[in-house]
Structure 1
Amino acid sequence: MSSALQWLFKAFDVFVVIGMAVISLLIFTNVVLRYGFSSGIPFAVEVSRVVLVWVIFMGSVVALAKGAHLGVESLVVRLPPRARLVCFFVSYGLMLWCCWLLGEGSWELTVIEWGNVQALSGIPVGAIYLAGFVAAILMALVLLLDLWRSLRGILPAPWSGVEHVEPLPVVPSALTSEKTP
């Protein structure tokens, strides 16, 4: 991955961490204020909702770029190389189509809802749907980059025939041995 893309996804990682910290701080402070002082932060729920949606969508872009989404590789790695390549192009084509659908639907909802604002925070409701549109574009770019690499002969791990195996957890022998009375 190029250094510019690494920098971009590192920025997304930081955004996700900051977003989760903001959500946690807002919700925790609101709970303490409500139960301890019979008051609260009026806009905390609305801001937390918007930030959570953005965190989820940007996190999904980062997960796609890192190959961290769930996948069933047991069938793919057993296919002959040509069949693996066909499955690769079909699956990436379907993912690009899903990005198109997500982007188109999110954009339409963003335009429709941009004029409506949330009651307490004043944030446009369309900002929630804008997260889906931005994520669709970024995910499509990641997929297109993977397709470009594949045309140059660099396939992601499961598609290249390499099975990704996680190491088994190390359990101390004291925990696994049975004690006899």
Structure 2
Amino acid sequence: MSSPLHWLLKAFDVFVVVGMAVISLLIFTNVVLRYGFSSGIPFAVEVSRVVLVWVIFMGSVVALAKGAHLGVDSLVVRLPQKARFACFIVSCGLMLWCYWLIAQGSWALTRIEWGNITPLTGIPVGLTYAAGLVAAVMMALVLLLQLWRSLRGTLPSTWAGAKSDETPLAVSSALSQEKLQ
């Protein structure tokens, strides 16, 4: 991975960890204050909601870059190398199209909602929708980098036919004998 993109993904990793810590601290403190002291932190829910949306979207970018998204590769691993490459190209095209749609929708909602502010914190509501825009652009960059690498001969591990470390489940002979009877 290129150095600036690698640095940015590390920053997203840190943001996800700090964001989850902030959410946990705000919600926990708010619960203790409400039940223990009939008080609370007025802005805790608004801030937690915005931070959670950003954590989810930035975590998705990092997961895509690390190849940690769920995927079903049972068909792809059985294909010959050229067919896997063709499937990867088609898959990249479809994902880029989806990122374009997400970016368009997020940009439109960010512009529409930027003038609206949350009642307690004054945070623009559009900031929540901007997370989708940033994530779509970053995911497209990660995908374009993977596409560039694949065109130069290096497919991601799943598409290259790398086998899983897990051993396939085997049916014991006692169970197969029971079914036959």
SS where residue 74 of structure 2 aligns? helix
Q: Which residue of 1 aligns with 2:136?
A: 136
Q: Quick check: 1:26–1:44 contact (8 Å CA) kept in 2?
A: yes
Q: Which residue of 1 aligns with 2:174?
A: none
Q: Percent of pairs identical after alignment? A: 77
Q: Does 1:54 pair with 2:29?
A: no
Q: Does 1:64 pair with 2:64?
A: yes
Structure 1 segment 156-171 matched on structure 2, within 5 A: 156-166=156-166
SS where residue 26 of structure 1 aligns? helix
Query: Is there any run of 5+ residues in structure 2 with no aligned partner, and where?
Result: 169-181
TM-score between both structures, scaled by the size of structure 2: 0.89
Shift of residue 4, structure 1, vs aligned partner:
2.8
Shift of residue 166, structure 1, vs aligned partner:
4.2
Aligned pairs, number: 168
Structure 1 segment 4-23 matched on structure 2, within 5 A: 4-23=4-23
Shift of residue 167, structure 1, vs aligned partner:
7.3
CA distance, structure 2, for counterparts of residue 130 and residue 144 of structure 1: 21
TM-score between both structures, scaled by the size of structure 1: 0.89
Q: Which residue of 1 aligns with 2:91?
A: 91
In the superposition, relative to structure 1, how do residues 111 and 164 fare at CA in structure 2: closer, same or farther (>3 Å)? same
Shift of residue 110, structure 1, vs aligned partner:
0.2
Q: Quick check: 1:61–1:135 contact (8 Å CA) kept in 2?
A: yes
Shift of residue 27, structure 1, vs aligned partner:
0.4
Q: Which residue of 2 aligns with 1:76?
A: 76
Shift of residue 150, structure 1, vs aligned partner:
0.6
CA RMSD of aligned residues (A): 1.3
SS where residue 72 of structure 1 aligns? coil
Q: Which residue of 2 aligns with 1:145?
A: 145
In the superposition, relative to structure 1, how do residues 167 and 68 fare at CA in structure 2: closer, same or farther (>3 Å)? farther
CA distance, structure 2, for counterparts of residue 46 and residue 7 of structure 1: 29
Cα offsets for 1:119-152 (capped at 9, x unmatched): 1111000000000000000000000000000110
CA distance, structure 1, for counterparts of residue 166 and residue 103 of structure 2: 34
Q: Quick check: 1:57–1:132 contact (8 Å CA) kept in 2?
A: yes
CA distance, structure 1, for counterparts of residue 102 and residue 2 of structure 2: 26
CA distance, structure 1, for counterparts of residue 166 and residue 18 of structure 2: 29
Structure 1 segment 14-33 matched on structure 2, within 5 A: 14-33=14-33
Shift of residue 83, structure 1, vs aligned partner:
1.2
One-letter amino acid of the structure 2 residue matched with residue 152 of structure 1: R
